[in-house]
Amino acid sequence: MKTHIIRPLAVGVAALVVTAVLLGRAQAGDDEFYPPVTDKLTLQECGSCHLAFPPSMLPAASWKRMMGDLQHHFGDDASLDAATTAAITRYLTLNAGDAPGHGSKLLRGLKAGEAPLRITELPKWVREHREVPKTDWTRKDVSSKANCAACHIDAAKGYFEDD
């Protein structure tokens, strides 16, 4: 009779532990979690060259500005057809850091109306990375401040806590 009680209890405890670990990570990394890109078109087009950055990392005005000048995308021509550009812009702006329900802590310190193109220039990003030695940014495996995944192994999943 006791094994009938212990087995379900053990399964229940195991389920609670797994849930606690998963929720604990989300809560512990809450300040460092940005919902990753879920739109297939955005993942395909943006993610073909670099990490498809979570839209909540920039305000809508930044995404509009960036998507409006893809022929000069950080030194590359990333031009897309008008329909694809419109669809990606719509997804990015609806999920931007200043969109309703998407309050992004990364935008703290950004003045109203500012539309930076680089996440790496946001005041909070600069504060959080000020102790990274300049030589780290030029290492072959990093090569750029925009290569988040070099230091944040779960960046593609939206987690940017220190690894």
What is the tens place of the pLDDT at every residue in 54-64? Answer: 999 999 999 99
**How far apart (Å, rounded) are the C-alpha atoms in residues 97 and 55?**
7
Supply the DSSP symbol for 54. -
Q: What is the pLDDT of residue 14?
A: 47
Give pLDDT, residue 19: 43
Structural domain boundaries in the chain: 1-32, 33-157
Q: What is the pLDDT of residues 35-46, one digit of tens each?
A: 999 999 999 999
Angle between helices 82-94 and 60-67 (to 10 degrees): 170
CB atoms within 10 A of CB 139: 11
**Longest pairwise C-alpha distance within the chain:** 72
Residue 14: partners with Cβ closer than 8 Å, 6 or more residues away: none
63: helix, coil or strand? Answer: helix
CA angle (162 as vertex; 148, 137 as ends), nearest 5:
45
Q: Collect the ranges in the chain with pLDDT lower than 70.
A: 1-31, 162-163
Q: How far apart are CA 13 and CA 161, in angstroms?
A: 28
Decide: pTM greater than 0.85: no
